[in-house]
Each structure stands twice: as C-alpha cells, then as structure tokens.
C-alpha cells in the first residue's frame, strides 16, 4: 500500500495543469494504485471523500479515481463535452482543504464526460446531481482550478463542524 502526500491549499503543485496520458502501461497502473490507496486512507482517516485527482498527490497527468461503497470509476483524460444550463448550489470541500471547511458554489446539474479506461478504451457517460458536481470538481483539479476559485462570496464559507450540524 502506497499512501501519497496530499498537497494542500496554497501549494503551487495544485495550480499546475496536467498533461494527457499517452502511455497505458505499468507506470500508469502504479499511479492509479497510488490514487486508490491514498483515497482509501483518507476515507478511513477522515470518514469522508469519494474521489481524488492525480495533481492532489503530485502526478500531473489527467487521472481521476472514484470509489464509494465499492462502486469504482477510473477516468483517464476526462473531458467535459456538455454542461447543462441548469445549475444548482452545493456545499463543496476538498482533500486539499483537509475537509476543514466547506464553500457554497454553483455547478451544472448535469454533465457529459468523455474519458478513457485503464486500457485506453474511450467511454462517454452522463452524470447528474451530486456526481455531476463531484466530477466537475475533480476535472477542475486537472486544469489547476480549485473549488475556492468558484466562490462568489466570503459569506459562503463554513467550518466542517458547522456543516455537519446543519447539512448532514
């Protein structure tokens, strides 16, 4: 098991844009395993979290790994093809914030994403509601964009303990 350091808000590593994955090889499989181990460790330690993007552990390739309740999805080179005009507000947080606070932001209610799997085979999938928000968040990481970049008002920030009491 290889648990990697998760870079935190303020680190220049999180602002760097990721490169396309070109080689679907053992090195890629190793990076995916690191993402998986790091996500599982974070979930165990903090009791929260569904996905992780490769820049959060210092890999600047376009990789997103999701796992919740043993439902697993790996997206390599994900690209949002469509976003619904319909928006909704969500309370968002991030491993790179240590999930210490949540911010209220606006996201598209539905997205369509094209991505490749571990073999390089292309897929197109639609996501709505909480998964739409989640994958917009993770794909933003691949472009050096953080959830805080979507914040419209500093009044839309709350500590995790307040969020848990009000919204859990």
| pLDDT value at residue 69 | 87
DSSP string of 70-103?
Answer: TEEEEEEEEEEEEE-S-EEEEEE--GGGTT-EEE
Whether 1 is covered by a domain: the verdict is no
Number of domains in the chain: 1
Provide the pairing of β-strand 87-92 with 110-116: unpaired
Whether 5 is covered by a domain: the verdict is no
Residue of 19, 27, 138, 161 with catalytic role: 138
Domain that residue 141 falls in: 12-167
Residue 145 belongs to domain with CATH number: 3.90.45.10
Whether 127 is covered by a domain: the verdict is yes
Whether 6 is covered by a domain: the verdict is no
pLDDT tens across the length of the chain (168 residues): 799 999 999 999 999 999 999 999 999 999 999 999 999 999 999 889 999 999 999 999 999 999 998 899 999 999 999 999 999 999 999 999 999 999 999 999 999 999 999 999 999 999 999 999 999 999 999 999 999 999 999 999 999 999 999 887
Whether 3 is covered by a domain: the verdict is no
| pLDDT value at residue 94 | 96
Whether 20 is covered by a domain: the verdict is yes
Whether 2 is covered by a domain: the verdict is no
C-alpha of 87 from chain center = 19
Whether 79 is covered by a domain: the verdict is yes
Dist. CA 75–CA 116, nearest whole Å: 6
Q: Is 52 within 8 Å of 36 (Cβ atoms)?
A: no
| pLDDT value at residue 168 | 74
Q: Write the DSSP symbol of residue 130.
A: H
Cβ neighbors of 16 (< 8 A, separation 6 or more) are 55, 60, 144
| pLDDT value at residue 23 | 96
| pLDDT value at residue 128 | 97
Cα end-to-end distance, the chain, whole Å: 31
Please state the φ and ψ torsions of residue 97, each to the nearest 5 degrees.
Answer: -105, 5
Please indicate whether residue 72 is annotated as part of the active site.
no
On whether the pTM is more than 0.75, the answer is yes
| pLDDT value at residue 70 | 83
CB count within 10 Å of CB 126 equals 13
CA distances (Å), origin 135, targets 1, 22, 47, 83:
25, 21, 20, 12
């Amino acid at each position: 098991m290889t648990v990697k350091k998760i870079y935190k808000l303020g680190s220049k590593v999180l602002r760097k844009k990721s490169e396309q994955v070109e080689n679907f090889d053992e090195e890629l499989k190793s990076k995916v395993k690191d993402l998986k181990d790091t996500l599982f460790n974070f979930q165990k330690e903090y009791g929260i979290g569904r996905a992780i993007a490769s820049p959060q552990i210092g890999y600047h390739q376009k990789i997103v790994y999701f796992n919740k309740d043993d439902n697993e999805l790996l997206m390599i080179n994900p690209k949002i093809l469509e976003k619904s005009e319909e928006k909704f507000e969500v309370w968002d947080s991030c491993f790179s914030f240590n999930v210490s606070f949540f911010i209220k932001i606006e996201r598209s209610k539905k997205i369509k994403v094209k991505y490749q799997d571990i073999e390089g085979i292309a897929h197109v999938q639609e996501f709505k509601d909480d998964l739409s928000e989640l994958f917009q968040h993770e794909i933003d990481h691949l472009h050096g964009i953080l959830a805080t970049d979507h914040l419209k008002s500093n009044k839309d920030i709350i500590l995790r303990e307040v969020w848990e009491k009000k919204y859990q």
